[in-house]
Amino acid sequence: MKVSRSRALFSRAVELLPGGVDSPVRAFTSVGAAPLFIKRAAGARLEDADGNVFIDYVMSWGPLIHGHAPPGLVKALCAAARRGTSYGAPCHLEVDLGERVRRLMPSLERLRFVSSGTEAAMSAIRVARAATRRDKIIKFEGCYHGHADPFLVQAGSGALTLGVPTSPGVTAAAAADTLLASYNDLESVHRVFAANRGRIAALIVEPIAGNMGVVPPADGFLPGLREACSTHGAVLIFDEVISGFRAASGGAQGLFKIHPDLTCLGKIIGGGLPVGAYGGRTDLMNLVSPVGPVYQAGTLSGNPLAMTAGLWGLERLTPSMYRALAALGTRLAAGLASAAREARVSLQVNAFGSVLTPFFTDRPVRDYRSATRADSTKYATFFRGMILRGVYPPPSQFEGWFLSAAHTAKDVDKTISAARAAMREVASAG
């Protein structure tokens, strides 16, 4: 496999960008490789600067549920761009997309578009603190809610990949207001509430964890969180940046029939363009300026290109698409598990619909501690073997693999074939 152009670009990038990248996990640090620079993408395929083509399972970290650059979306974006790329003023697209989001997720009685999932989570916490007049929040070990200060305590995603559970630069005061519980462990939640009576503004959770790898909620976990927050007067925030419209058209909250007070959404509502949103109960969202005193603003919020892409994508979510994606997810998960058994490599595959994570461990993965027992060195060997065989998985043990409507059974079978060879290399490496 040729990599000379990617290597040359990376050499230039490290002289300009911290680590040569604009987001940490892209650096391939944890998989012992140098990043590939992408030239183009279409459907389920990526092509790098050297002309290597890969079946993509990153899919821009989830939002590309229809695949890369579907022709209809490209046509819609071109038409929108001719009408202007940014207004800094209201447009009908914000209203159209907002109404569609609310129809799919009725708990979002009012919502505000922002430019990222990080901004959405940060703003939701601010609203919760204003509503309750309390300072402390509960988050779960290994869950990632963006890089705002309150969330970088035992965070997942890139922070977990790089072994930096609490980022330097986060003040002691900010960290002190973030209380930790264990995912899928209601008793840990009850203990935190009991020790901080009347002081907890909100509990924020990924209803289907995706940033320590995919970890589905245990039976009763999400209803238990709803009950605990209602009992203690805390705001329940679902971070559906990954699960929203990926797990189902109504998100995880629709699947599990849980009504959060606030919800955070991310790139999938903009068809993969830079966008996010937060919303929920009318009384809470009416605290947001200009109606209420909670200030939050953004020049690019409601950007017409992102709104156009979001409308195009959400209009095309169908039950048949979700059934097909789930079938592919089941096929891929079973194939990866089979490849590991054949090579006598310990592997646990967690899957939920069109998202999965193969963990290199012999024990079930249900929370942060069990996820971090996975052997990231074995994953790195596996990753490099897959790349050499034309498959592009996430460059981290602790991320999800994402399927799209552009993937086919043939793509999955080719991936499983590559996995068999890569697993043999893992076994040989010990």
Active site residues: 144, 239, 267
Work out the widest C-alpha separation in the chain, in whole angstroms.
63
209 DSSP 8-state letter? B
**Tokens 């994402």 -> residue:** 402
81 neighbors 273 (Cβ within 8 angstroms): no
DSSP assignments along 69-95, one per residue: S-HHHHHHHHHHHHT-S--SS--HHHH
The C-alpha atoms of residue 156 and residue 371 are separated, in whole angstroms, by: 10
Number of separate helices (H) and strands (E) present in the chain:
15, 14
351 closest CA partner among 238, 247, 255? 247
Q: Chain-centre distance of CA 220, in angstroms?
A: 23
CA dihedral 196, 202, 208, 211 (to 10 degrees): -80
196 neighbors 177 (Cβ within 8 angstroms): no
CA dihedral 339, 344, 347, 353 (to 10 degrees): 20
The C-alpha atoms of residue 174 and residue 355 are separated, in whole angstroms, by: 32
354 neighbors 214 (Cβ within 8 angstroms): no
Kind of pairing between the strands at 178-181 and 45-48: unpaired
Give the helix/strand (H/E) hosting 98.
helix 92-104
405 closest CA partner among 327, 290, 305? 327
